[in-house]
Structure formats: structure tokens, C-alpha cells
Amino acid sequence: MRKILAVAAALIGMATVASAQSYPERVVKIVVPYAAGGGTDILARLLAEQLGKKWDQSVVVENRPGGSTSIAATYVAGSEPDGYTVLLGTNTLVTNEALGRKFDYDLKTDLVPIGLVTEASTILVASSESKFQNLQEVIDALKGAADPMYFGHSGIAGTPHLTGELLAMVTGMNLQQVAYKGEAPALTDALAGHVDFAFSSPTGALEQVRAGNLRAFGVAGSSRLTGAPDIPTIGETVPGFEMGGFFAFFAPGGTSEDIVNSFNATLGEILTDPAIVAKIENFGMQVTPKSPADTRAKMDGYLGKVSDVVKAANIKVD
């Protein structure tokens, strides 16, 4: 009986390896948790085209927006664990965990990281008429100040909001948030001086920075932006500071390690192509391919950081 079980196990293992070696044999579907036309969708379609070329196989994009990305995540988590339905998810998946939101999937067991694609930073800006010339002046003025100043952002618990709260927390600045319905109105009020600062995506802010209408005080990510190398990181003034969103591929829980690693290897080839890197960086993102294990570690680190911010700032969502 033991010999029969051993032979059966060996055959299953051989079948799994063979499946990974021939993967993919049919259409692969990338599920996007946002509507068509947005940044995540554009990134997904660029990667779908490149994956299709590498695999000589069709790769399609399907948009399933809503539920703070949970609709798409639940769909992929419940799909067959064969590598043919994957999710291009964002850090919102982890933020949902920090906020205590409950959905019909478990992020730790029902979705397997395939690999990180990019990191997306935010920028602290103010009107070019601001009295502050750099971040250190802002910190010196607001640290322990009796009266607050205000930063605008695109919505409660989004990356710009969390970044501003973290900066206030670690510096002791009396900096309070103002939530807007999107990035554009927050930047409009910053331009007009109706709000003291704004945290924004590079895509939204850089055009106005380059035009001289906004002043950039720092990038929240771990490195300067390739497309704006003159803007320092916040970490250059506040040692150790780093906060940014990310985009990563996920497969349903139970997908074989061989298929996950095969997908990751192909993704790595694409994300080291200078032409593709340049296209992605034009979106204001930093290309940062990582292994499945390193992607999980990135998620765990982000969860700890965001959980601390949510608790300290008493952030709640409906």
C-alpha cells in the first residue's frame, strides 16, 4: 500500500511539473479591481500584451470594479487554482486588512502572491506661493504647534491620506487631513491656497510642479522618481520614512508553486526590458519586480505600518 501511495504521489508531482512546463496552454485572464481606463487597467493591458508575446498565448483583461477591490479579489480567490485566472491587485488589499474589513476571502490563504510589479509613490506639494521652501521648514514650523495646518488628499484610507497621517505621526507635526472626492479637487485647492498642502500621485502633481504652480517637498517612496530626480525623498529629511502603494499579481490559493514561479520568471523578463520599464515609469511608477516570497514580505511590512497609522489616527470607514 505504501508503495502504491508513493507511486501515486510521484505521478502527481510529475504531472504538476509537466503542467508548469507547458503553462499556459490556453487563454490567461487578468482580473482588474478597477474600471477600464484607470491606471491599474492601463498597466494590466500593457502587461497582458507583453505576457501574450512571451507565452505566444492570448492574455485578456477583465474589469471587476467595486467593493474596495473585494469584488475582483473574491472572484479570483474562488477561481480554479490553475494559473489561468489571476488578479492584478494593489495595496488596497492590505489596507482593507488593516481597517478590519471582512470579505469572502482570506488574503493570507485564498490569494497567493505571484510577484510585485511596481511601487507607486505620492508627493507632498503646496502652492508655489507657500512660505515654506523645503520639508525641514514645514517640520520646524508644525512640530508641536498649537495651531494645525491641513493637507488635502483623494479619500479616506487611500495611500495619500495614510502617508500624510504617517508623516504627522513620526515627526510630531500638527498636520490634519482634509478628504476630497478625488485627487483633482485636492490639488485644485492646494494650487489656490485653500488647503496648505496636498499628498498626490506623481501623475496628478508633476505637471503642475514642472509648470511652477506647485512646490514639491518630497516623494514618499524609498527612492527618487526616475521622471523627477530633482525632488528629494521624504526619507532624506526624515530618516527611515517610506510609504507607497504597490501593484502585484496574485493567483488563487492552492495554485502550484511551479506555475507561480513560472509566471514570476516571465514577469521578471518583461520588467527588465528597458522599453517596458520606460513606459511604466511614464505613469509615475517605479518598476520593482520581486519574488513571491519577497512580495509576501512586502505585504506583511505594509500591513504592520498601515495598522499602526490606522490605530494612531483612529481611521474608520463605512
* 264 and 250 Cβ atoms separated by less than 8 Å: no
- In this structure, the answer to whether residues 51 and 128 fall within a common structural domain is no
Domain final position from 243, 272, 295: 243
> Of all residues in the chain, what percent carry a pLDDT higher than 90?
87
Indicate the pLDDT class of residue 318, thresholds 50, 70 and 90.
confident
Is 40 part of a structural domain of the chain? yes
- In this structure, the answer to whether residues 45 and 80 fall within a common structural domain is yes
- In this structure, the answer to whether residues 131 and 189 fall within a common structural domain is yes
- In this structure, the answer to whether residues 64 and 155 fall within a common structural domain is no
Question: Cis omega (within 30 of 0) on the bond before 24?
Answer: yes
Is 316 part of a structural domain of the chain? no
Residue 17 has a pLDDT of: 53
Cα 115 from Cα 247, distance rounded (Å): 9
* 9 and 38 Cβ atoms separated by less than 8 Å: no
* 242 and 258 Cβ atoms separated by less than 8 Å: no
- In this structure, the answer to whether residues 257 and 113 fall within a common structural domain is yes
- In this structure, the answer to whether residues 116 and 155 fall within a common structural domain is no
Domain final position from 212, 243, 274: 243
CA angle (116, 122, 124) in 5-degree steps:
160
C-alpha cell at 197: 498642502
Distance of CA 229 to the CA centre of its chain: 21
Hey, what amino acid is at 88?
L
- Asked whether the predicted pLDDT for residue 13 surpasses 90, the reply is no
Residue 19 has a pLDDT of: 57
Residue 226 has a pLDDT of: 87
Cα 312 from Cα 293, distance rounded (Å): 29
Mean of the pLDDT values across residues 73-99?
97
Domain final position from 228, 243, 258: 243
Residue 94 has a pLDDT of: 97
Minimum mean pLDDT range among 3-12, 62-71, 171-180, 271-280: 3-12
Residue 91 belongs to domain with CATH number: 3.40.190.150
* 116 and 289 Cβ atoms separated by less than 8 Å: yes
Beta strands in the chain (DSSP E): 28-32, 59-63, 85-90, 111-120, 123-127, 149-153, 175-179, 197-200, 214-219, 245-252, 285-287
Cα 177 from Cα 306, distance rounded (Å): 16
Residue 264: its H or E element: helix 257-270
Q: Phi first, then psi: what are they for 56, rounded to 5°?
A: 55, 45
- In this structure, the answer to whether residues 174 and 268 fall within a common structural domain is no
Q: How many distinct structural domains can be found in the chain?
A: 2
Place of cell 501623475: 203
Cα 100 from Cα 311, distance rounded (Å): 11
* 223 and 232 Cβ atoms separated by less than 8 Å: no
- In this structure, the answer to whether residues 89 and 31 fall within a common structural domain is yes
Residue 210 belongs to domain with CATH number: 3.40.190.10
pLDDT digits (tens, 9 = 90+) for 256-298: 999 999 999 999 999 999 999 999 998 888 999 999 999 999 9
Place of cell 503553462: 23
Minimum mean pLDDT range among 26-30, 308-312, 314-318: 314-318
Hey, what amino acid is at 162?
L
Domain carrying residue 212? 123-243
Long-range contacts, 35-39 (Cβ 8 Å, 24+): 35/63, 35/65, 36/63, 39/203, 39/283
Q: Name the nearest CA neighbour of 91 among 243, 284, 299, 291.
A: 299
Is 148 part of a structural domain of the chain? yes
Residue 284 has a pLDDT of: 82
Mean of the pLDDT values across residues 40-47?
96
- In this structure, the answer to whether residues 100 and 113 fall within a common structural domain is yes
> How many residues are listed for the chain in this entry?
318
* 29 and 84 Cβ atoms separated by less than 8 Å: yes
Per DSSP, the residues of 65-117 read --GGGHHHHHHHHTS-SSSSEEEEEETHHHHHHHTT---SS-TTTTEEEEEEE
pLDDT digits (tens, 9 = 90+) for 217-245: 999 999 999 889 999 999 999 999 999 99
